[in-house]
Amino acid sequence: MSRIPRRLLVTGGAGFIGSHFVRRMLRRHRGIEVTVLDKLTYAGNLANLADVAERPGYRFVRGDVADPRAVERVVARADAIVNFAAESHVDRSIDAPDEFIQTDIHGTFVLLEAARRHGTARFLQISTDEVYGNLATGRASEADQLRPSSPYAASKAGADMLVGAYQATYGVPSVITRSTNNFGPNQYTEKVIPLFITNALEGQRLPVYGDGRQSREWLFVTDHCEALELVLTRGEPGETYNVGSGFELTNLELAERILELTGRPSSLVEHVEDRPAHDRRYAVDSSRLRALGWEAEHRFEAALAETVAWYRANVDWWRPLRSGEYLASYRRQALRRARRAPTRARQ
């Protein structure tokens, strides 16, 4: 596919990265039709798409990617599919792995089956660097063995394998991207950067797992979306493309930089029990993507400052998210840690 598809289906398009991608495509390409299929679970938010809701060519359908009937209706009228739909938080996958298997693996299967039946011209699977597992040194390449540690990473690895199998067996023209950690405006507040920012803005503690030396490669969301558009149109069917900025930071360093930007004291950092099977480091080799002409444009410091400014200016967007489902999950995690602590002390 060497051009932008006229009819694009974006699953999970009301989520963080998906909504940024939808806005990009509608603003940049005249005449494009973008259908968003989203279940609107806790992390899906139509407010993320409010500024494009009245644009010509935009259509929203509420539905589950694991529901064949809902998927059939939208795939039948799509030239290409970009699959963002996923349960995507490691802590949640530890608490409820069945939900991740259902959405991330079975949902991808349902989409692929529909794409096969309708002869969809391109299937873009949005994956994660977490499928490579812990990396002590160097950078993971697309040819490296997958070694997922968490149920979340395993569900994404399983989906990737399905996409590759449908490409090889049925000829579904597919590409996969594996991105490093994303951040930016309107990211759900359970993820580490918005969690740290909103906690800091409210004067609350920033929970840092273990010693805080876990290292991640950080990518601004608009740079990721630029890469996705490039892979959608110029990626080679059957290939996988890593997407990374090359900029690494430990979780403790991240907390300190956010406290500086919000004017809060370093005493707000709170070391908490590490989560099970917590990988120490992720990093990817993005040379295959760069060969297509992509480079991350945003420097981390400037992008982080922009992100902090957005959360400071949009309290009405994020404060309601810090109750209900989010707060219940946050409390469950704290209770689980508290229950395990005495057991370790007796050993």
Which residues are tagged catalytic? 129-130, 152
Partner residues linked to 127 by β-bridges: 178
Q: How far apart are CA 57 and CA 300, in angstroms?
A: 34
DSSP 53: T
Q: What is the DSSP string of 274-316?
A: PPTT--SB--B--HHHHTTT----S-HHHHHHHHHHHHHH-HH
CA distance 130 to 133: 5
Chain position carrying tokens 């059957």: 238
Terminal-residue alpha carbon distance, the chain = 59
DSSP 178-222: EE-EEE-TT--TTSHHHHHHHHHHTT--EEEETTS--EEEEEEHH
Per the document, the length of the chain is 347
Tokens of 198: 């909103």
Contact 48, 19 (CB under 8 A): yes
Residue partners of 165: CB distance under 8 A and separation at least 6: none
At 189, phi and psi to the nearest 5? -75, 5
Rounded Cα distance, 43 and 92, in Å: 12
For residues 206 and 200, the answer to whether their CB atoms sit within 8 Å is: yes
Asked if residues 344 and 336 have their Cβ atoms less than 8 Å apart, the reply is no
Q: How far is CA 252 from CA 86, 182, 187, 208, 298, in A?
A: 27, 17, 20, 7, 22
